[in-house]
Structure 1
Amino acid sequence: MSTPRFSRGELSSAFEKFEQTVARAAESQDWEAWVEHYTPDVEYIEHAAGTMHGRQQVRDWIRRTMTTFPGSHMVAFPSLWSVIDESTARIICELDNPMRDPGDGTVISATNISIITYAGDGQWCRQEDIYNPLRFLRAALKWCRTAEALGTIDDDAARWMRQYGGSE
């Protein structure tokens, strides 16, 4: 067995900083600092959106994703658990994706598994997000139906619901 390239402490510290940056980005809707946590040549695999190469593709994707429903209604991305794999310099975690309150205090969410690979100096060179798109669809539809019943649905969510599930 070879010696790990990065210590457990460095991996843990880098992931903690990464999580703090994600939390600030979710709150402010400014994703630039999050994008800067990746190496310039990052490979980002998002199974529904495809594979992105480089920060600019990741930047373009996150801006589109977080400014349209349902991403625009997700308020945080906390890790529910994480595992540090020193031998591969990876963090494997389950991320929650809660949506904003539709108006009655309901918490509607879906989760994904993310595998991020550390490159050193606080940067990540690869991320893969793994999830069941149908769970996200069901969560988004539940949010829309709840907000519609409460009279709090906005135009973006209403358009999305008509397109992806208004007849169900």
Structure 2
Amino acid sequence: MTRPTFSRDELVAAFETFEQTVARAAETKDWDVWVEHYTEDVHYIEHAAGTMHGREQVRTWIRRTMSVFPGSYMTSFPARWTVIDEPTARVICELDNPMRDPGDGTIISATNISIVTYAGDGKWCRQEDVYNPLRFQRAALKWCRKAEELGTLDDEAAAWYAKQQAGTTP
């Protein structure tokens, strides 16, 4: 089967729209607008959460992930850099995942590599997120320690933090 080809301009424009939608979703917490940028049969590989098949599985996962700490404290997901790979219709990028200010202007974040495959008509048919979950855990722990120090650690984050401290943390 031959993959359709898309111009660099179309890939760049589609990814810019995708990024704007992600920014809007992060701001409003309406993840449905983000999910609508995927094809109905999207193949989404999230190494810590597993592989999802179809838009509805992605929707369920993102709503759950972004409604509890630490996901709910991530404020944006800007691309630090991108590579447009025209022959494969892919955009490869490093995404930053900064957490909200713990109260003193500190920026705490972790990054991941995302590989998204374009299907045309503004839709993406595949995404793979590659990262080290321990780096995200360390960032969330650092955020909790800072918020605790500043007296801004709320109940949700404190419960997560206590659970982490009860186990072995890096």
1:3–1:142: structure 2 CA closer, same or farther, 3 Å change rule?
closer
Q: Deviations over 1:81-128 (max 9, x none)?
A: 000000000000000000000001100000000000000000000000
Does the aligned pair in 2 maintain the 1:4–1:86 contact within 8 Å?
no
Does the aligned pair in 2 maintain the 1:141–1:165 contact within 8 Å?
no
Give the match's secondary structure for 1:144. Answer: helix
Note the 1:136-155 alignment, pairs <5 A: 136-155=136-155
Give the match's secondary structure for 1:140. Answer: helix
Deviates more, 1:3-12 or 1:93-102: 3-12
2:107, 2:18 → 1: CA distance?
24
Deviates more, 1:136-145 or 1:4-13: 4-13
The CA deviation at 1:70 is: 0.3
Give the match's secondary structure for 2:87. Answer: coil
The CA deviation at 1:25 is: 0.4
Aligned positions, number: 167
Q: Give the partner amino acid of 1:110.
A: A
Give the match's secondary structure for 2:94. Answer: strand
2:166, 2:20 → 1: CA distance?
36
2:63 is the counterpart of 1:63: yes
Does the aligned pair in 2 maintain the 1:4–1:87 contact within 8 Å?
no
Aligned to 1:101: 101
Runs (5+) with no aligned partner, structure 2: none
Q: Give the partner amino acid of 1:62.
A: I
Q: Deviations over 1:136-164 (max 9, x none)?
A: 01100000010011110111111111112
Q: Give the partner amino acid of 1:88.
A: T
RMSD: 1.5
**Aligned structure 1 segments of 4 or more residues deviating by more than 6 angstroms:** none
1:76–1:108: structure 2 CA closer, same or farther, 3 Å change rule?
same
Relative to the length of structure 1, the TM-score reads 0.96
Q: Equivalent pairs: percent with the same residue? A: 74
Aligned to 1:122: 122
Does the aligned pair in 2 maintain the 1:89–1:117 contact within 8 Å?
yes
2:23 is the counterpart of 1:26: no
Runs (5+) with no aligned partner, structure 1: none
Relative to the length of structure 2, the TM-score reads 0.95
2:57, 2:164 → 1: CA distance?
25
The CA deviation at 1:165 is: 3.0
1:55–1:3: structure 2 CA closer, same or farther, 3 Å change rule?
closer
